[in-house]
Chains A and B, each alone.
Chain A
């Protein structure tokens, strides 16, 4: 075992972790630990854009961005944090540009912006161009740029080190345990402040846009160490994943004029969202797609519909909608322009489906996409240890792993890339500031015990069960019954199934007994995390008897502000879930009905 000492340790090297590392290392001795090589992080998969009311094409204001985000969150987002994020968005995006990020440009040479779901001109209700983009690889550009800046500023990296445990002593976070993948050796990182930036857990569901690495390591570790998770019932299903594969087709496609078409050839979104139509919030569109399919209007009676971005179709509906360019001329696109704006999307279709979206519509279905819940934090990235908002000393979280909560019950597109740069930065600053004023607390004497106990369990099972089979069963039941639409009956059955799978999981045995790159052992450990979190998601969802944002119950189909305008905090105590509630912070916008 090796022990290292750093003032700040950042776990995760995606956008949030890199931003935290960059800022913390300005003043404190900092290490960034990542199970993936940093540039492999899932931030690199983000396509459409990062939201900021720059107003480079048309009038826009941070206040509008704030309101849209509150409304998008179905009023569950904390309004002080949302306002902070939307105000910070503008300097944050400029900062990325100053770091060299190659945004696309307007004819005047400014950062180019495109419309995205739920982002509106608050005066007219019409879509506004707020998503700052670099083709359809904005996340890739953010990840590359931040990693490059970290290299320039000589940030310390521990690449391909996977954190397995959080060390707590006298009620404070004091370090983490990590395994070095190349050697299998365990390391202890002793720290004054630890920032979790480990991303989401979308691998719980069968059809998902999320990477293999999205196994919720951070929240699972926190949960095992007695910390609560917030709003775990809220998970976003993105309306447009490639049929069966789940690979994401960015909302930017609809931002560029693409429309959703059912099996009867009808554009159906005007029925569900008369004003913004195909650019309604994601939860609204995913439900609309399900309803179309349920009523037999899937394509060929099947469970998918079309996203159509053929230029003639885009132009037809642009004319019907009266969409105009900024100079007032009607919108007319060519295949060449679309190809230029959406090269990766077109490539995905060609590679995985053998389809050319310029001549054929794309078969799509909703796909598990984004973790709204997570480790509770305040707007400075400080992790909360309970529903009163009390802070867990030494622990921070930022990015998709955290629940600030700025996304509430449903995240708006472009607000996650924004979240990671704004809260990544502030978590980094806060953690460094805290570390400067604090002493190292002693490490607990049994630092590796809990890790070894977990790993031994995976090595010594009877071998009667297969981990991939268990995983597939979990994914299926969670997608079917704790997915876009939910009922008491379905969720109760799903929860029972997940609990059964957790029991069966005790019978798996890892076959690789080696140390070097034992991915068998680590993938199995990750599956344990997913099972743990699937249970927490199902319990939280079953508990919330209303529909709000991404949590849509058929048996409680209305939002219920009188009883449920509050955040769920869930703990696991001796294997039993305990739920408490935290009030939502409301500043300027009183809840009202949400129509698009």
Chain B
């Protein structure tokens, strides 16, 4: 089929303002949007810049807006968008070049929630694994899937309004530790998330849940964190 791709372009070394460039080319309906971008870069315009690596939705490099909504380009098939596809960078982060945005504010927010395992308890005396029941492990399974692609955070109106809001991805990663029975810093994280830039800014718009390419139930996870804050129980 023939596809017309309208792509957001901005070259900081030449342009003062962004513009759109349109490319028309042949594509298979089952091609990934990423495949089409690769061909445009390879044969039509080598200067087109975007990030990518795994090409199957697990590394989190290529979140972008496709026809107005956040997706991973490598997990989006042409047939699901039709013959006219508009591709733009994710919102709320500074555009560096074309589809590449400055991810630093996103990762800085992530780092604020202590995204690592914290415990004071010694490891078992036999040196083997800590025990955890299957039910306890299941409690935070969903939030371990996060690939830090920022599709959720950059679809959130509260984040657009101000990037000092930690954003859904950071809260998802906090959830992953708060509800892990082996971790001992839940209360510290809950305190951090109780700050003004924390969960209070979530107005359950559900954009994040819709945007998540890993199908994490983000709004539910944020709800559980809010509940833990209120009840003091995890």
Contacts and interface: CB of A to CB of B under 8 A. Distances in A.
Interface of A: 36-37, 39-42, 44-45, 91, 94, 97-100, 102-111, 134-135, 137, 140-141, 144-145, 148-149, 151-152, 182, 211-213, 245, 247, 344, 347-348, 351-352, 466-468, 510-512, 514-520
Given A100-B117, A467-B42, 5 more contacts: A39-B60, A40-B54, A40-B60, A140-B58, A514-B11
A94 to B, nearest CB: 6
Nearest to B126: A94
B134 to A, nearest CB: 5
Contacts of B115: 148, 151
B133 A140 contact: no
B128 A94 contact: yes
A109 B132 contact: yes
A107 B57 CA distance: 31
B7 to A, nearest CB: 14
Contact of A520 (B46, B55, B127, B182): B46
A514 B117 CA distance: 42
A45 B59 contact: yes
B200 interface: no
Contact of B134 (A45, A105, A247, A511): A105
Nearest to B61: A40
B183 interface: yes
B166 interface: no
A140 B130 contact: no
12 contacts: A36-B61, A42-B54, A94-B128, A100-B182, A100-B183, A109-B134, A148-B116, A151-B116, A152-B117, A351-B75, A466-B43, A468-B38
Q: Please list the 9 inter-chain residue pairs (A to B) with the smallest Cβ-Cβ separation, ordered nearest first.
A: A100-B117, A468-B42, A109-B131, A511-B46, A148-B116, A520-B46, A152-B116, A512-B47, A97-B129
Given A151-B115, A468-B43, A102 B77 contact: no
Nearest to A43: B59
Contacts of B116: 100, 148-149, 151-152
B140 interface: yes
Contacts of A105: 132-134, 137
B54 A511 contact: no
B111 interface: yes
B125 interface: no
Nearest to B41: A520
A516 B140 CA distance: 40
Contacts of A103: 129
B53 A212 contact: yes
A519 B49 contact: yes
A126 B116 CA distance: 39
A110 B129 contact: yes
Given A44-B59, A211-B54, A352-B30, A514 B47 contact: yes
Given A39-B148, A510-B46, A211 B132 contact: no
Contacts of B88: none
Nearest to A467: B42
Given A98-B123, A151-B111, A514 B61 contact: no
A41 to B, nearest CB: 8
B46 A516 contact: no
A41 B45 CA distance: 27
B103 interface: yes
Contacts of A98: 123, 129-130
A103 B96 CA distance: 38
Interface in B1-48: 11-14, 30, 38-39, 41-43, 45-47
A148 B176 CA distance: 12
A366 to B, nearest CB: 17
Contact of B97 (A41, A141, A212, A516): A516
Contact of A45 (B11, B56, B140, B183): B56
A344 B58 contact: yes
Contacts of A94: 123, 127-129
B52 interface: yes
Nearest to A135: B141
Contacts of A145: 117
A41 B58 CA distance: 10
A247 B51 CA distance: 19
A89 to B, nearest CB: 13
Contacts of B38: 468
A102 B128 contact: no
Given A100-B182, A344-B58, A519-B49, A137 B133 contact: no
Contact of B129 (A111, A348, A517): A111
A102 B46 contact: no
A511 B45 contact: yes
Nearest to A344: B58
Contact of B13 (A107, A247, A515): A515
Nearest to B182: A100
B48 to A, nearest CB: 8
Given A40-B53, A102-B137, A107-B134, A140 B30 contact: no
Contacts of B148: 39
Contact of A110 (B61, B131, B147): B131
Interface in B137-192: 137, 140-141, 144-145, 147-148, 176-177, 180, 182-183
B13 A44 contact: no
Contacts of A149: 116-117
Contact of A134 (B45, B75, B144, B176): B144
B58 A45 contact: yes
Contacts of B123: 94, 98
A44 B56 contact: no
Given A148-B115, A351-B77, A516-B13, A212 B46 contact: no
Contact of B127 (A91, A211, A510, A516): A91
A141 B141 CA distance: 11
B73 interface: no
Contacts of B117: 99-100, 145, 148-149, 152
Interface in B73-107: 75, 77, 96-97, 100, 103, 107
B77 A352 contact: yes
Nearest to A351: B75
Contacts of A134: 144
Given A351-B75, A352-B30, A517 B100 contact: yes
Contacts of A99: 117
A37 B101 CA distance: 13
Nearest to B76: A351
Contacts of A41: 59
A351 B118 CA distance: 36
